[in-house]
Amino acid sequence: MTNSTFSIAFLFPGQGSQFVGMGKELANNHPVAHQTFEEADDALGYKLSQLCFEGPEERLKLTEITQPAILTTSVAAWRVLQEKGLKPDFVAGHSLGEYSAHVAAGTLTFADAVRTVRNRGKYMQEAVPVGVGAMAAILGMPQGKVSEIAGEAAQGEVCQAANINSPEQIVISGNTDAVGRAVRLATERGAKKAVSLPVSAPFHCSLMQPAQDRLAPDLEALPFHQPSCPVVCNVDAAVVDSAETSRQALIRQVTGTVRWEPSVRLLIHRGASLFIEVGPGKVLWGLMRQIDRSKTCATVGDGASLQRTLEQIAAIAA
């Protein structure tokens, strides 16, 4: 159902998009989605499907469960779209979502990806003792100014930009005290809002080096394939088009900044005009509206959003 008059980018969400009940309706109504959850249960050796569909929320929020849960829900939604004849011209994913993007591009098998992100979540959680690290969102302040404040607040500790999400939103990560100092400085210097995030670890900063060191051999041991369509990687906001560049980008991503806004701008520059968030939640849809409101954006996470998106595409293609 791709059309030469418009290019489609599939965007895959990352951690924070999870909720109890995600994927359940798709699994109930689409055999291919049901099968995806069964594959995940088999690959992991426990009932991930049950945690996605029924909770409890406390368990679903554990990083080593959250990551495979979001990946599985996203892949289930992608497979339903694939059955409907929808193929992306580009794919990208926010942090963890980059693994979903690589499954969609055929770079990684789903079973390999789901096991890897379980370990990734575990390694990230164990890299820093609870309470030592923190993250905060700085809203309504330019990137240059946020980086300046982070540098000033570090005082020998770690404080750096973790996610460049949109012109409106930059997330910082590092040692708890340093992030606290940055929040105070940002508030004093005119940020619209600076708020600590309820996360269990300081993702995407140099404190994650132990996690990156543990994940690297896991990724080195996996077979990676040539992506079937261009994948935009977070860490460089650039297209990866070979097995090896894909692997190295996923390794570097653990400590690297998620350059989401530049990634989306690259997709726009490459001609993408329809952006579909594939998986749970609407986080990337919201960021897209902050980055470029002129682009058509849709979501597919359940039956209703799937139907709306298919109607939207049919209207564009008409």
Cβ burial 214-247 (10 Å sphere, 16+ → b, else e): bbbeebeebebeebebbbbbbbbbbbbeebebbb
Residue 119 DSSP code: H
Instruction: Find the radius of gyration of the CA atoms of the chain.
Output: 19
CA distance 112 to 39: 11
Q: Which of 17, 95, 173, 305 is catalytic?
A: 95
Residue 100 catalytic?
no
Residue 204 catalytic?
yes
- Helices 143-154 and 176-188: angle between axes, nearest 10 degrees: 130
254 φ/ψ angles, rounded to the nearest 5 degrees: -60, -45
51 contacts: CB under 8 Å, gap ≥ 6: 59, 60, 65, 69
Q: Which of 102, 173, 204, 263 is catalytic?
A: 204
Pairing of strands 272-278, 193-196: unpaired
Active site residues per annotation: 95, 204
